[in-house]
Structure formats: C-alpha cells, structure tokens
A = this chain, B = another copy of it.
Amino acid sequence: MLQSKLFYKTEKPDKSASRILTGEGQAISNELLVRAGFLDQLMAGVYTFLPLGFKVLQKIENIIRKNMESAPVSSQEILMPVLQPKENWQKTGRWQSLDILFKVNGSGDKEYALGPTHEEVVSPLAKKIIFSYRDLPLSVFQIQTKFRDELRAKSGILRTREFLMKDMYSFHATQEDLDKYYDKLIKVYLNIFSECGIGKNTHQTLASGGSFSKYSDEFQTITDVGEDIIYVCKKCKLAINKEIKNEHSKCPKCGGADFDEKKAVEVGNIFKLGNKYSLPFDLKFKDKDGSEKPVIMGCFGIGLGRLMGAVAEINYDEKGLIWPKSVAPFLVHLIQLGNAPKINKIAKKLYTDLQKKNIEILYDDRQDKTAGEKFAEADLIGIPYRIVVSENTRKSNSVEIKERNKKQLKLVKINSIEKTINK
C-alpha cells in the first residue's frame, strides 16, 4: 500500500479535544487508535474501522476462525440475522428483562430485537437439525455485528453500542460432555489471546453468569483502563471477579489465598447454559434408551473490537502503538527519505520485490513530508519493522532496519533483508 494513497489521517495529540470527543473514561488505546488513523468515531460508542484498523480486525478474525474450525473445537461457521422476532425474546423473558436490548419497529406494527446475542435464534434453529443422540455434540459459530444500548458507552472501543463478536454455541447430550468441551475451550481461548499478543496479561477469571447461568468464566486482560476488578491468584494465575470474590476466600484451582487486586477488561466470556434455552424452545433429543431429554448448551464469546483495544492498550509507548506481528496491519513500513530519482528507484523496487514475497508492506512514498514527520508517524502507527532507504543507505547498497519495540538500528544489505525480518 502506498501511504500517499492510504485512506487515513493522523491527528496531533490533543487530549482535551479527544476527551471531549469520546466522553470521560477515555482509554489510551482508543486515543492512539483514533490519532493513528485506525478508527474514526461516528458518535458515542459507534466507530468506523478505517483501512489500518480493518486490517488488524481481519487478522484477529482469522486467528479466531482458525482456532474455532480446528480440532478439538471443530465448530462450523454460520451467519445468523441481526433482526430477530419479538416472540422469540418473549419466550425467554428477555424482551422485558434485558435493559440493553435495542427494539425496532417495522412496517405493519412488527417489532424486532437487534440481536445482542443469539440464544433466541440458535436454539430454535438447532431444533430443526438435532433429533437424536447421534446428532450430538455439535457446535456452530458466527462472527457478526451485535447491538447493545449501553447507557454510557465509554472507554472507546472497549465498550460500544455496536460491535463485532464471535459467538459460538455448542450442543451436548450430557452435562459431562459440555464440561469436557468447556475445559478444552478454556485452553483454546488462552491460545487465541496468546496468538494476538496479550497472552501474558490475560487471565481466566471466575465470574457470575449474568442472565445466562450461575457462574461463567471470563478472560480478563489486565489494564488500568479496565472497568472490572479481578483478584489474580499469585500461585496459579487464575483470577476471580470482584463480583463473586466474597464467595471464594481461597483459589478454587490451587487453594492459594494470596491475590493481587487488578483492573482489567473482559475480552472473552464463556457460559454453561445447561438447559436454560433448550427448555423454552423445546430443543430436545432422543437418547440411546429412547427417552427424550433437553439438549445441554454452552456459549462462548469473544469481542473482536475489544480484543483489538486490549492489544493496543498493552502494546504502546509514549510515541505510539507497537503492534505484535500476528495482528499488525502491515509487517514492514518502508520509508523513503529524500526524493532523488536514485533513491526513489531503490525504494520502489524494494516495495515491489517484498510484495512479491508476500510481505505486507506500507510504503511511505510521500514527497511533502520531512524525515522527522515520517518517523513520528511510523512510531505512532506502530508497524513491527521500519525499513529506511536514504542517500546514506544507498551508498552501502543497504537499508536501515529498526524494530518498533527495540532501540537498535541495523544497517542491512538489500539482499539480506528477507533473512533479517522475521514473519
């Protein structure tokens, strides 16, 4: 991508302005994501992903999809509707009880819910497909836009009214089978957060089950802008959400009694739904002995925008963002200093050659920016490798390579670049 053509605009730091723009409780991640041109805010809690942000979102989406499709999860991707019939939400009582539910009037006095989650759609759908114990277990997921009428949308993309979510629903013949699947998913979730570069900061956290179940497991990423308080066991790193901490004086996993109190943001949440949604939708199966039983369900969510916000919140310095390679919008930021034809020729060739090798590259080809402006913006955007082509590097048939998270500059011969950068 040529930077001169990129659909973005970076902003100068102006804390007062951006705090007014996005409301109080502003997360640094969000300020940086807006300033660096990854996001644009349309209104409180509602954002556009610009090309840089969309590329990060795609990387996160692909990491999640790969983990959902592969064994032992083996989930199948579907796409359920946003518009949902009122009747389904009345059946579970959530038309009245869920205060964040957006309600829409359509022509002919029709009323719809804008899906904040999809138990009310997936349960009656599964009823058309699941009949016998032989059909179980089954698991489906979608990556889809959700809506929640948050009274106060704050902390930028950490809490929004409209957001992309991966929601997976699993169906089992027995509680034991759900328990086994659920335990596997905990490991897969921790793996997803590691792949996205926030593994060390993210803790499995015992929590309340909200409107879904008694308890649930959250995945909480430690950050000072987090809205949740968690207690991390010093011994085994399991955490307990403050909301249920009084029920647990000791760590339920290792028995430890020493905890660190931390602020954190929830990036994932998984629930054992049991028969809570299969009963109202009469979702049952015929077991081996011929008896009919309700299907046992689990549900497993990850917020993609939140995850992106959490990655940014943990990976930045005073100059800007520092993307982990796995989710960076580009791997290489190629910067041409000076507009002399010889330098331009080298930079252009490098741009073409690296692209041919499937290296994702943003090429700062702008002629009206100073070296200082280009470097400052590269630091703000935070692409893993910065490669500089200049009059100086040309003389030695080299380029200057710097990793965003390191201080050191390396002069590298042009034919050794590929060996030096590590996908």
Contacts and interface: CB of A to CB of B under 8 A. Distances in A.
B81 A46 contact: yes
Interface in A131-174: 138, 140, 145, 147, 149, 151, 161-162
Contacts of A417: none
Contacts of A190: none
Interface in A329-370: none
B138 A7 contact: yes
Given A48-B78, A128-B9, A83 B121 contact: no
Interface in A103-128: 103-108, 114, 121, 125, 128
A273 B149 CA distance: 34
Contact of A8 (B8, B84, B129): B129
- Residue among A8, A57, A107 with the most chain B CB within 10 A? A107
Interface string A188-213: 00000000000000000000000000
A77 B51 contact: yes
A30 to B, nearest CB: 15
A82 interface: yes
In the complex, the count of this chain's copies comes to 2
A20 interface: no
Contacts of A80: 42, 48
Contacts of A47: 81
A85 interface: yes
Nearest to A88: B42
Nearest to A37: B129
A54 B77 contact: yes
A78 B7 contact: yes
Contacts of A138: 5, 7
A50 interface: yes
A121 B48 contact: yes
Interface string A170-193: 000000000000000000000000
Contacts of A8: 129
A254 interface: no
Contacts of A57: 79
Given A40-B125, A85-B42, A125-B40, A102 B102 contact: no
A50 B126 CA distance: 11
Nearest to A2: B74
Contacts of A51: 76-78, 140
Contacts of A140: 7, 51
A98 interface: no
Interface in A1-21: 1, 5-9
Given A42-B85, A104-B102, A79 B49 contact: yes
Interface string A71-100: 000101111111111000000000000000
Given A46-B83, A51-B76, 20 more contacts: A9-B129, A40-B128, A42-B80, A42-B81, A42-B85, A42-B125, A46-B81, A47-B81, A48-B80, A48-B81, A50-B78, A54-B77, A57-B79, A82-B82, A82-B145, A83-B161, A83-B162, A104-B114, A107-B151, A108-B151
List the 10 shortest-distance A-B pairs measured between CB atoms, nearest first: A49-B79, A51-B76, A46-B81, A48-B80, A7-B76, A9-B129, A83-B162, A43-B85, A106-B149, A104-B104
19 contacts: A5-B74, A7-B76, A7-B138, A8-B129, A9-B128, A9-B129, A42-B81, A42-B125, A46-B83, A47-B81, A48-B125, A50-B78, A51-B77, A51-B140, A57-B79, A103-B105, A104-B104, A106-B149, A107-B149
